[in-house]
Structure 1
Amino acid sequence: MNPRDHPALWSPDTAPDVVIVEVADPSLAIPLQPDAEPLVESATITERNLVYAQGTARLRLCLRLVPTRAVPAFSIPCDANCALRLAAAARLQRVTRERRSPLDVTAMPTRNQRIRFTRFLAIHDALEAGASPRDLAFGLVMPNHRPIAGAVWKGSSERRQVLRLIADARRLVASGYRKLLLHR
């Protein structure tokens, strides 16, 4: 599925960009700007997870039921990602209180990094589905090129490029691609 149309719901334990808000009523409406568009919503008895789009930014929220809360409160675990969690809460606070919220570009991968990481994950997914390096070369990496025959393929620069991309994709997944969520 296209991630723009179906964004992922991340657990706050995995992704520090998910803002945890403790509320007495999980159906509480978050006071976002009129241009904030709801993308995804998932609810259980104890929490409600939401993803909103505001321009190019994504706001990820986890509303947790705490019946004793008189007013909504941020819940920020004191872990290694505390600074990122505080920044995400501050960003949500700015968005709900101000007309416009400038994006924190230091906490986001660049456009080229997003394209590269997406390509690596697509290569890894194709390998897991059983694709060969040649399938990757002419189906995913260089879809507009004509496939190269046997002996020529073995010595081609296209093959070396695909093998480098495969190694990079495997390295990304082995080193914990979820660290991308931690902005590292």
Structure 2
Amino acid sequence: MPRVAKPAVAAASNRLEVADWVHAGLLLLADQGIVGVRVEALARGLGVTKGSFYWHFKDREALLREMLQSWRRRATLSVIERLQGRATTPVSRLDSLLQLPFASPKAQDGASVELAIRLWARQDATARAVLEEIDMLRMGFICAIFEELGFGSDDAQARASLVYGFMREGATLPSKLHAETLTTLISGLLVNGAVPEPASA
């Protein structure tokens, strides 16, 4: 059965916001791929009629565009803004990035949505353009961290590629219980070229 979250407001009044439809669409995308994101399935899962959908969106394509923009904002732009505001040193920003795949139980959901968008982008030009922009923004942010640490452009790019690859796959790794140790080891290797000494007992 499709996983479509019913917001609390729906139970009370059946009046949904744009964000409710977008969230449900992303969950359905993660579960069934782009072919499964249909207006009928979403309305049924949310317990409303299709009329509620067309109150907010002209058509399915409008929903898909909003889903991409929502993912762009939440999975990249807001993350970069948050790290720039809270993590004051390049090493702290790097450590925070490496911990993102393990940061919360929702990380797995985020990884599933991203994988579905990457598959969608293989066959859709709009999705591909958004994905390419996101990859460029993320890589640029990570490269800047290593350049701030004193690495040249090529070395920064290579290290950023390793970090980005780890971040994309981290939520699917079986070693979540050792996430802190794993991220510390990776950070030490990439920044200092050595594995940090284990803490003494």
Length-normalised TM-score, structure 1: 0.29
In terms of Rg, which structure is larger? 1
Q: Name the one with the larger strand percent.
A: 1
